[in-house]
């Protein structure tokens, strides 16, 4: 059990590599890599979730001793790049710069607020409520995604579709954990602190996390860079 979290994280990296090498352009590869590198920093938030949400055995027993672990950095790296690129990999699109008219839309006055809304809401929820940190994260990502939707309605199709694509991929990915280590979820997740609902052995909150993460994170690159995605069939 000591290395299950590491093995599971590395399985995600295999999926990441398969998608990365299937990309047709260096621009897409750069986008996926850059977003993954930045997303890996989310792994530093692990102390928020250990042990209140789960207590995974990790390399050098870091998670239980310090709250931090190497596996979280690997996991965050993997999900970041996959979430950002999955939609355009399947539907074949490319990014273009927004026009000056689009850039100056009245909705873009909320550009900075939209980008900061998710972390701001998360901090507020963690500070003033007794919600489980993952529940707070899910709420923050959903609201943050909705503010992005308002600011960048051109991204709504990608956001909604990516949310369900990432959910489907994460569902299958989570089944690999159940397959390699039956009973791991029950031993490691603090099911009493969350809903306790398991769907084919997967905690409901994990699926809600995947849905909300795919929803907000699929738009983050375009939102930060003022780009927009154009599908091939639209040309």
pLDDT, one tens digit per residue, over 8-66 is: 999 999 999 999 999 988 988 999 999 999 999 999 999 999 999 999 999 999 998 99
What's the pLDDT tens digit per position in 161-206?
Answer: 999 999 999 999 999 999 999 999 999 999 999 999 999 999 999 9
Give SS3 for 96.
Answer: strand
Whole-angstrom Cα distance, residue 184 to residue 186?
6
Report how far residue 93's alpha carbon sits from residue 84's, in angstroms, rounded to the nearest whole number: 12
Tell me the whole-structure pTM to 2 decimals.
Answer: 0.90
User: Across the chain, where does the E strand assignment appear?
Assistant: 93-97, 198-199, 202-203, 227-231
């Amino acid at each position: 059990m000591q290395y299950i979290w590491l093995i599971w994280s590395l399985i995600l990296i295999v999926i990441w590599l398969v998608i990365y090498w299937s990309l047709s352009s260096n621009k897409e590869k750069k986008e996926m890599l850059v977003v993954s590198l930045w997303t890996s920093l989310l792994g530093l938030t692990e102390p928020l979730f250990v042990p209140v949400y789960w207590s995974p055995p990790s390399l050098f027993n870091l998670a239980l001793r310090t709250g931090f672990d190497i596996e979280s950095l690997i996991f965050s790296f993997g999900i970041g790049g996959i979430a950002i690129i999955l939609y355009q990999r399947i539907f074949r699109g490319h990014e273009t710069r927004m026009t000056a008219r689009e850039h100056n839309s009245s909705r873009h006055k909320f550009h900075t607020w939209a980008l900061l809304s998710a972390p701001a809401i998360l901090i507020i929820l963690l500070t003033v409520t007794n919600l489980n940190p993952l529940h707070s994260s899910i709420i923050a990502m959903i609201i943050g995604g909705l503010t992005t939707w308002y600011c960048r309605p051109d991204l709504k199709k990608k956001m909604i579709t990516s949310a369900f694509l990432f959910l489907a991929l994460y569902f299958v990915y989570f089944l690999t954990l159940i397959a390699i280590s039956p009973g791991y979820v029950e031993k490691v997740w603090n099911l009493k602190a969350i809903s306790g609902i398991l769907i084919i052995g997967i905690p409901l909150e994990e699926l809600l996390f995947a849905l909300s993460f795919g929803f907000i994170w699929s738009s983050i690159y375009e939102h930060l860079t003022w780009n927009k995605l154009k599908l091939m069939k639209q040309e």
